[in-house]
Amino acid sequence: MRAFVVVVAGAEVELASDALWQLGVRAIEERTPPPTEGVTDDRVELWTSVGDEEDALDRAIASLSGRWPHRIVDVDDSPAQTWRQFAQPMWVTNELVVVPAWQCESFVADNQATVLFIEPGGAFGLGDHPTTMLSLRAVLPLLAGARDVLDVGCGTGVIAVMSAMRATVPGHRVRAVDLASAAVEATIDNARRNGVAEYIEVDTTAAGDLDGDYDLVVANILAPVLVELSGELRRLTRRGGHLVISGILAGSHQHVLDALAPMQVVRSDVLDGWAAVTLRHPV
């Protein structure tokens, strides 16, 4: 596994972090760099993962525009993988369960629930984060009338795969995009694993470069990115369709809703301090 490390002055941590978030990273760790002889400053190291592929690393380097020094560090992620032996199936609702891919031979559903087998890969979660659970629950009842679905920031592809598996409209299609090439690979892998690869188109296209509109748009990404993409999310949501957003704090997301105005809130759900909000264009 390769870590992407950016060194910035303390006053520019937020600015550099925003540049990294826009690359589609899932986490950023702040570290104090080792002392350098003759240097006394407030430097901070931002550690993240943009994927191991050369094109992903090149894109990350280009996004810095030469403003901050960076380095690529090979790290051993085997200690971080011990969680796999303790992972358990996660019931999103009584009709949907997300199961670790490595338990596919041992898991047996006790009812007619839809079973998603998900391999998270090295840089993504299994789908148990509250924002993912909220998004899945919000999307489920909306699929009955959705011919086409767009998942912005698809990660492992759990939302896109579930949408393809649960779609009921003939000729349905699912579009999934993520700026992280590792997310695209994970989504393709999980779509194949669950037998719906032919229904999902996935790549690193930016939201601003997407054409057309969709019956259902899902964006489980952080609040600053939601605000930045608000105009595109409005454009991509078809009149009469729905936009589901998550990745926002339950008590601190009014600024995101303001950015999405005049779209109107249909419902809002909260889990463990996080929120998911469903919106529509005004009638």
Which residues make beta-bridge pairs with 246? 220
Residue 59 belongs to a domain with what CATH number? Answer: 3.30.70.120
Last residue of a domain, one of 15, 48, 75: 75
Structural domains counted in the chain: 2
Whole-number pLDDT of residue 168: 84
Pick from 218, 182, 134, 202: nearest CA to 26: 182
Say whether both 149 and 269 belong to one domain: yes
Digit-coded pLDDT (tens) for 167-206? 888 889 999 999 888 889 889 999 999 999 999 999 999 9
Pick from 47, 2, 280: nearest CA to 145: 280
> CA gyration radius for the chain?
19
Digit-coded pLDDT (tens) for 10-41? 888 888 887 787 676 767 888 888 776 666 66
Q: What is the mean pLDDT of residues 131-147?
A: 93
pLDDT band at 256 (very low <50, low <70, confident <90, very high): very high
Residue 120 belongs to a domain with what CATH number? Answer: 3.40.50.150
Say whether both 123 and 24 belong to one domain: no
Let me know: does 199 contact 172? Beta carbons within 8 Å: yes
Q: For 107-136, give one letter per residue: b (16+ CB within 10 A) or e.
A: eeeeeeebebbbbbbebbbbbbbbbbbbbb
Last residue of a domain, one of 75, 100, 121: 75
Domain that holds residue 56: 2-75
**Residue 149 phi/psi, 5° resolution?**
-125, 140
Say whether both 67 and 183 belong to one domain: no
| pLDDT averaged over every residue in the chain | 87
Last residue of a domain, one of 33, 56, 75: 75
Pick from 11, 12, 49, 48: nearest CA to 30: 48
User: Which pTM value belongs to this model?
Assistant: 0.77
Say whether both 193 and 91 belong to one domain: yes
**Residue 48 phi/psi, 5° resolution?**
-155, 180
Say whether both 25 and 126 belong to one domain: no
Q: Is the pLDDT of residue 266 over 90?
A: yes
